[in-house]
Structure 1
Amino acid sequence: MSDNEGHGGMPPTDDDISLPKATVSKMIAEYLPEDVSCARETRDLIIECCVEFIHLISSEANEICELESKKTIAPDHIISALKRLGFENFTEEIQDVLKDHKQQQKDRERKISKFEKSGLTEEELLRQQEELFAASRAKFQNNQQ
């Protein structure tokens, strides 16, 4: 049974929810001097603290969301939750990350729109791509001789 299946088809419990250990270990290593390592128990405790923090912020954001009669937690609900819980110093960085995320979404949408505006089918674009690859290979092979 995989970690995300829960127990016998049941929704995951709090014990099933975690963060990727390898990713957390990598992040911890980035903050520590090279000659200092982090014990596995320490890493696991940090993960537990992170999960608890996420639960706390999520619960508070959910309350704010319900007070506004909304059905979806929005970024503003998270920012308000951070402020209500005394984490105002996190909000500026969160807003910067949100701004970057929105820009990445716009860039992605622009690429999709560019594809749609081309008027070509995916098959036609793939054919053109293969032709470009073939021409590039031929040019490379001619330069090798």
Structure 2
Amino acid sequence: MSDREGHSGAPGTDDDLSLPKATVAKMITELLPADVTCAKETRDLVIECCVEFIHLISSEANEICEQDSKKTIAPEHIIGALRRLGFESFTEEVEEVLKDHKQQQKDREKKTTKLEQSGLTEEELFAKQQALFAESRAKYESQQQ
């Protein structure tokens, strides 16, 4: 009996886990030729397979993490799990996605805020804002007369 069998469906069990059906349906539709459709039962089966795959990879990554005496599963643990489980062909793409993600994080950290870009202090910006409000108010009032 696998560790997923025999669950009662009570809250907090793996039976509660799923993926958004609309998202999976959209992904399947985009991947299939235009003249091919996918039955609802097939989409549900794909979702179950995906959840099981995530469970499998997570469990294996957790074992690797524990062997490394770590408390947080790192991307390297996921890549190691893929290799251990025979999904070596996935690792190149996963490493590319990880590289892109790290670059996006660096790019986000480099971005400066509008406040920093302005070169003005908060007080100067506040005074400028108040002047704009006053100008707008005066323009509005003159149009009302």
State the TM-score, normalizing by the size of structure 1.
Answer: 0.73
What residue number does 1:135 align with?
A: none
1:41-80 to 2 correspondence within 5 Å? 41-80=41-80
Which aligned segments of 4 or more residues in structure 1 are displaced greater than 4 angstroms? none
Structure 2 gaps, min length 5: 1-8, 133-145
Whichever residue aligns with residue 53 of structure 1, its letter is F
Can you list the C-alpha shifts for 1:102-121, whole angstroms capped at 9, x where unaligned? Answer: 1111111112xx12981654
Whichever residue aligns with residue 62 of structure 2, its letter is N
1:34 partner SS: coil
Cα root mean square deviation, aligned: 2.6
Give the Cα–Cα distance (whole angstroms) in 1 for the partners of residues 35 and 20 of structure 2.
24
1:81 shift after superposition: 0.4
**Structure with greater helix percent:** 1
The structure with more radius of gyration: 2
1:71 partner SS: coil
Can you list the C-alpha shifts for 1:19-73, whole angstroms capped at 9, x where unaligned? Answer: 0100100100011111111110000000000000000000000000000100000
Tell me, yes or no, if structure 1 residue 92 matches structure 2 residue 114: no
The percent of aligned pairs where both chains have the same amino acid is 72
Give the Cα–Cα distance (whole angstroms) in 2 for the partners of residues 97 and 79 of structure 1.
12
What is the number of residues matched between the two proteins?
118
